[in-house]
Structure 1
Amino acid sequence: MAKYRFEEIAYNSTEKKKPVEEDRFTYIGLEHLDPGTLKVTRFGSDVAPIGEKLVMKEGDVLFGKRRAYQKKVAVAPFDGIFSAHGMVLRPKEDVIDKSFFPLFISSDYFLDAAIKISVGSLSPTINWRDLKILEFELPPLAEQRKLAKVLWAVNATMESYKRLITATEQFVKTQFIEMFGLPDSNVYGWESATIRDVVTDVRYGTSKPASDEGKYTYLRMNNITYDGQLDLSETKAIDIPDEEVDKCLVRRGDLLFNRTNSRVLVGKTCVFNEDKPMVIAGYIIRVRFGERILPEYISTMLNIDYGKKLLLNMCKGAIGQANINAQEFQNISILVPPMELQLQFKDLLRQADKSKFELEQALKELDSIYKRIISENLG
């Protein structure tokens, strides 16, 4: 394989413009880019963006140079403007095939090398002067075209799985509203209450710092995903005095509520349904319910748009460090539908979670295949 400096592989388009009102409809910021996908599914701004932005053309590769460790790369879906914290890249087609170019930029082979030259501590950023001299190996153009066909086919299948996962999540939310309605309308005339009326125990987790070793597994804020799932792929450990264990020990059926984070992430909620002993909650509110309410019912209510907006309005503190205390959490109004109906919904939720898990496993396998193909043909 031949080796090239990055400036021989790509153009860095630096054309800029000061946005006008109509540009807000075709603005893409770094917040609109999702790691792990080349597709842009969100765009636009409520008002015209402030400050100069990069001009992008449909098909350009958008690369987040700020906090590049987030690995945000996407293909521009239309002509418009892009965040000045990114780069607008175009292929030099005598060296790299245009269909292979986005796949190359989104590869770990490219991104890992680029991340290493990031500068700055709070918001590490990649400078073009450093990036342009990095060297990469590329296969011949004919091989790139063949490789692109295979990778785009795998990519298309992965995107279809992601759509199915999203559809499953949306189905659960729709079914929740159809079965129970919402507290502000109470279309079925269920009993009204507050969370305080139906809990048996509400406790703050420990504020002691976690470590890499300890007797107990330590649940942190990032163990609760934005869509209301428990993610135990990365956990810490902790040792705490025996007299403090009971107040923050987590058991199956506990609802976990993220009490502090940015305004976007505070209020993340999930149910601990693991048969895993010796687990301690960190900066999380741990909630236990009596016989009238299932934790899955409350968790789902707080994870649909209605609940997220409710929690957002309860936040106090700075945008980057908002808080919801346990007392305010317990003041949330709820409906108390018949237990039989709650159990039906729990069964629906279990089936949906099973389907999502199977799709996610298939997605992981495809991602592994995708990365293996890349690693075998690059570098």
Structure 2
Amino acid sequence: AMDATKKSYQKLIAATDELVKSQFIERFGKPGTDPFRWGLTTLGKCCELNPRKPKGINTDDSYSFVAMPSVSEDGRIDASVERPYSEVCKGFTYFAENDVLFAKITPCMENGKGGVAKGLKNGVGFGSTEFHVLRPIKGVSDPYWLYIITMFSKFRSDAEKVMTGTGGQRRVPITYLSEYSITLPPIELQEQFAVFVRQSDKSKFAVLSCSNLNLSSCSLKKKDGHW
């Protein structure tokens, strides 16, 4: 019963993700194409890749810390863990509120780990060195538009083809992102799409919460012998 319940919720979540992608294609075309004649450019010109840590950051504050397990395969980023700046200032990836995280290492990349960073402590986060960071440019790109591009299966399968390294240490080079061909729609259309994505995420995460609640209920019943 628990397995059947879990599978039914997984289907609902997957259907929501596919709806978002179909809306992207309807509004902008498939990534890498230009059906609306906005002109092709590169992803590297639509956002800032792996931005540097600002010099004026407050070294006395604490910030969100995001390890790889804190990022899901359906766009959720758990930013609840906090660490003082002295513990994260070296050896970790810097990012900020509304940046997009993209897992670059296998198998996390192939599995779809990534999302838009929200609710960061003091607006800043540090995390695994196995993330590439895509920072939207004000007036040019929207974080949710950027994130959905990275979630298309073709985007990830093409990325897999250019991974460097061996075995479990293969990674997507930053050049793949910087040179990826994409059409750039007007920011107003991106922002309209972002509203749709956020609404879909609320529905998806509500389903996920309901799923966890029901599975917990099933576990309690089984434990008490009340199947």
TM-score by length of 2: 0.80
Contact in 1 for aligned 2:70/2:78 (Cα 8 Å): yes
Contact in 2 for aligned 1:258/1:285 (Cα 8 Å): yes
Contact in 2 for aligned 1:228/1:303 (Cα 8 Å): no
Q: 1:163 to 1:328 in 2, by over 3 A?
A: closer
Q: 1:334 to 1:306 in 2, by over 3 A?
A: same
Q: 1:256 aligns with which of 78, 84, 101?
A: 101
- Tell me which amino acid in the other structure corresponds to 2:164: K
Pairing 1:349–2:197 present: yes
Contact in 1 for aligned 2:159/2:176 (Cα 8 Å): no
- Counterpart of 1:280 in structure 2 is 126
Pairing 1:87-166 to 2, within 5 Å after superposition: 152=1, 156-166=4-14
SS in 2 for 1:316: coil
Pairing 1:359–2:204 present: no
SS in 2 for 1:168: helix
- Counterpart of 1:218 in structure 2 is 65
Q: Which runs of 4+ in 1 moved over 6 A?
A: none
TM-aligned CA deviation for residue 311 of structure 1? 1.4
- Counterpart of 1:270 in structure 2 is 115
Identity of aligned residues (%): 25
Q: 1:302 aligns with which of 144, 147, 150?
A: 150
Pairing 1:169-180 to 2, within 5 Å after superposition: 169-180=17-28
Q: State the Cα deviation string for residues 284-343 of structure 1 (Å, max 9, x = none).
A: 222322121112112101101121122112211124111123233211111101222111
TM-aligned CA deviation for residue 238 of structure 1? 6.4
- Tell me which amino acid in the other structure corresponds to 1:166: A
| Mapped partners of 1:289, 1:262: distance in 2 | 26
TM-aligned CA deviation for residue 267 of structure 1? 7.0
- Counterpart of 1:339 in structure 2 is 187
**Structure with the greater alpha carbon radius of gyration:** 1
TM-aligned CA deviation for residue 270 of structure 1? 1.5
Pairing 1:29-68 to 2, within 5 Å after superposition: none
- Counterpart of 2:177 in structure 1 is 329
Q: Which moved more, 1:332-341 or 1:278-287?
A: 278-287
SS in 1 for 2:50: strand
Higher relative contact order (CA 8 A, sep 6+): 2
| Mapped partners of 2:94, 2:32: distance in 1 | 34
| Mapped partners of 2:140, 2:224: distance in 1 | 56
TM-aligned CA deviation for residue 370 of structure 1? 0.6
TM-aligned CA deviation for residue 223 of structure 1? 2.5
TM-aligned CA deviation for residue 365 of structure 1? 1.0
Q: State the Cα deviation string for residues 119-140 of structure 1 (Å, max 9, x = none).
A: xxxxxxxxxxxxxxxxxxxxxx
Q: Which moved more, 1:250-259 or 1:155-164?
A: 155-164
SS in 2 for 1:203: coil
Identify the structure with the greater strand proportion: 1
Q: State the Cα deviation string for residues 55-98 of structure 1 (Å, max 9, x = none).
A: xxxxxxxxxxxxxxxxxxxxxxxxxxxxxxxxxxxxxxxxxxxx
SS in 2 for 1:227: coil
Q: 1:363 to 1:183 in 2, by over 3 A?
A: closer
Q: Which runs of 5+ in 1 are unaligned?
A: 1-151, 206-213
- Tell me which amino acid in the other structure corresponds to 2:132: I
Contact in 2 for aligned 1:260/1:267 (Cα 8 Å): no
What RMSD over aligned residues (CA atoms) do the two structures have, in Å? 3.1
TM-score by length of 1: 0.50
Aligned length: 216
- Tell me which amino acid in the other structure corresponds to 1:177: I
TM-aligned CA deviation for residue 275 of structure 1? 4.4
Contact in 1 for aligned 2:64/2:126 (Cα 8 Å): yes
SS in 2 for 1:187: coil
Identify the structure with the greater helix proportion: 2
Contact in 1 for aligned 2:62/2:121 (Cα 8 Å): no
Q: 1:370 to 1:297 in 2, by over 3 A?
A: same
| Mapped partners of 1:227, 1:307: distance in 2 | 16
Pairing 1:202–2:47 present: no
TM-aligned CA deviation for residue 157 of structure 1? 4.7
Pairing 1:227–2:74 present: yes
TM-aligned CA deviation for residue 368 of structure 1? 0.9
